[in-house]
Amino acid sequence: MSAVERVRAAFETLRRVDRPEVWISLRSEAEVLEEAEGVDRRVAAGARLPLAGLVAGVKDNIDVAGLATTAGAASYAYQPERDAEAVARLRAAGAIVLGKTNLDQFATGLVGTRSPFGAVRNAWDPERISGGSSSGSAVAVALGVVDLALGTDTAGSGRVPAALNGVVGVKPTRALVPTTGVVPACRSLDCVTVFAGELALARLAASVLSGDDERDRAVLPAVPRVAIPTAEHLGGLDDGWAEAFGEVVRRLRGTGVEIVEVDIAPLLEAAGLLYGGAFVAERYAAVGEFIEKNRALIGGDLDPTVASIVLGAGSWSAADLFRDRERLEALGAAGLAALAGCDALLTPTTTGHPRLAEVAAEPVTVNGRLGRFTNFANLLELAALAVPAGFVGGLPFGVMFTGRAFSDRALAALAERLAAPRVDLAVFGAHLRGQPLNAQLVAVGGRFVVEVQTSADYRLYRLATTPAKPGLVRVGPGDEGAAIRGELWSLPAAGFATFVASLPPPMTIGSVSLDDGGSVPGFLCEPVAVAGAVDITVWRGWRAHLAGASAGTRHNGPCE
């Protein structure tokens, strides 16, 4: 798919999903298409652009030239003169920025609800939180609007929303990606992070941001050793989550990894220092003076919970900070000693998936629970990688690998052991995005890949089913056919098997020939089922047929 085609698809998806709270600002479609044309020209001229044709979102505390940076507060907005370094590196690699995504204001929160631009609802269940603070970035990826997105992470903001929306979240070692052009939450702890639907793309984007840094050279031994928390520290998870984590541990052990239980109490105590100690004073240093001067806006443009946290952080003294630094050093030493000989720590990414109403009732308490396994990473200079690991109750469940600084590649290698094989599936009717059966694909972990078109030897029929479905049939030599538009989806192999097992007749899965000369598994129809069915081939696609039927349009012309 060319960059121009991908941009057009992104805007189409943006309009279809209708989730305005995900975005704070968007570039005009004409402007983005013009940039895409430039990317296509560079590729045609032989330029090597590893992210060419991919569309990105950028959290709105990261500068993008031409768009205001708000950090989630319109009153704070300013116009940056240039892209943040991370954005500049993405663009240089061919990625195209669609717009700026919503966030917990001033990157303060793990819930995704602390924004005057609206609470960002979860991509899977709009009654639940998206997770924050990089809420909009994670949801934009999960909804398929963008291929990847930039976030930031101080306490878990690049990992918690990844887990709750079923995408990958890479939190690099802090020294690998510059934070130039990023509004600080805690300047000494902040990281620029990457969200993507698949691990390979997330790691590719992370490598573009960090470059080929020779410090990130850790490799796994022949038999990797991974630590997991004791049962005591896995208590209080949402129903079914402990069991889901146990299944992940079994899967990882089955790949030849040695699993050891360790006491992570020192790490969890260190995590408590991020908000419960003097380190939070750095948030006051970042935006405290601004909030002080604009107290009249609290409850309006300034979120009350965020304002309370930041203003309260101004009461800590230098003596408090040095005391807490000393305590952190002791806890960090104890925690790393417990992990001695291990290549990573494996945990659930977070502890549960609250509803929006729960956060509204207890905004600080619920938020605090979400950071149990994430809050200590940046305090202790650790790398982390959050990956999807299945579903519990129809909602995504995710796990996280955490390791020493510059173990980023090793963590990715461990995560690859959990990556399930995937199968492509071409769909042409009721399973298309926005159609009534699309949720069946999503429920088994399916992800939209690209719009496709068959070779020109198929016919399409409207079947007498409920809900209405088309039947795709390939015609023989000499028979008139047409190229039929559809979508390519990627499903986990296990999910594909579950989906196919439940497929009712007359639908079948077979090899579908595409107009680029390739073939993929896709929806077909038993030929007997089209007897007496309405031939709608002339529309060259199910959506076009539905739109024409809705408008009362009759299309009796020949196939094109």
Given phi > 0 = left and psi -120 to 50 = alpha, else beta, which region is 118? left
**Delimiting residues of CATH 3.10.490.10 domain(s) in the chain:** 422-550
Could you write out the three-class secondary structure of 477-541?
A: CCCCCECCEEEEEEEEHHHHHHHHHCCCCCEEEEEEEECCCCEEEEEEECHHHHCCCEECHHHCC
Can you give the pLDDT at residue 61? 98
Measured CA to CA, the distance from residue 273 to residue 269 in angstroms comes to 7
Q: Say what the pTM is.
A: 0.86
Other residues' Cβ atoms within 10 Å of the Cβ of residue 235: 10
> What's the CATH fold of domain 422-550?
Hypothetical upf0131 protein ytfp (3.10.490)
238 Cβ contact partners less than 8 Å away, ≥ 6 residues apart? 351, 352, 353, 392
Please state whether the peptide bond connecting residue 467 to the residue before it is cis, i.e. omega within 30 degrees of 0.
Answer: yes
3-state secondary structure of 121: strand
Active site residue 502: no
Can you give the pLDDT at residue 35? 97
Other residues' Cβ atoms within 10 Å of the Cβ of residue 285: 15
Instruction: Give CA torsion, residues 173, 141, 440, 121, to 10 deg.
Output: 100
**Delimiting residues of CATH 3.90.1300.10 domain(s) in the chain:** 3-418
Per-position pLDDT tens, the chain of length 560 = 799 999 999 999 999 899 999 999 999 999 999 999 999 999 999 999 999 989 999 999 999 999 999 999 999 999 999 999 999 999 999 999 999 999 999 999 999 999 999 999 999 999 999 999 999 999 999 999 999 999 999 999 999 999 999 999 999 999 899 999 999 999 999 999 999 999 999 999 999 999 877 777 778 889 999 999 999 999 999 999 999 999 999 999 999 999 999 999 999 999 999 999 999 999 999 999 999 999 999 999 999 999 999 999 999 999 999 999 999 999 999 999 999 999 999 999 999 999 999 999 999 999 999 999 999 999 999 999 999 998 999 899 999 999 999 999 999 999 999 987 889 999 999 999 888 898 888 888 888 888 899 999 999 999 988 888 899 999 988 889 999 999 999 988 888 888 898 888 899 999 999 999 999 999 999 988 888 899 999 999 999 999 886 665 554 443 33
Residues in the chain: 560
In DSSP notation, 31-42 reads HHHHHHHHHHHH
Record the tokens describing residue 210, joined without a space.
């960090």
Residues β-bridged to residue 387:
399
CA end-to-end distance (rounded Å), the chain:
22
Measured CA to CA, the distance from residue 161 to residue 107 in angstroms comes to 13
Q: Which helix (H) or strand (E) holds 336?
A: helix 318-338
Active site residue 130: no
3-state helix, strand, coil in the chain (%, to 5): 40, 25, 40
Active site residue 157: yes
> Active-site residue among 25, 115, 130, 133?
133
Record the tokens describing residue 480, joined without a space.
């008139």
CATH code of the domain occupying 3-418: 3.90.1300.10
> Active-site residue among 25, 59, 115, 130?
59
> Active-site residue among 134, 135, 157, 407?
157
Measured CA to CA, the distance from residue 211 to residue 173 in angstroms comes to 13
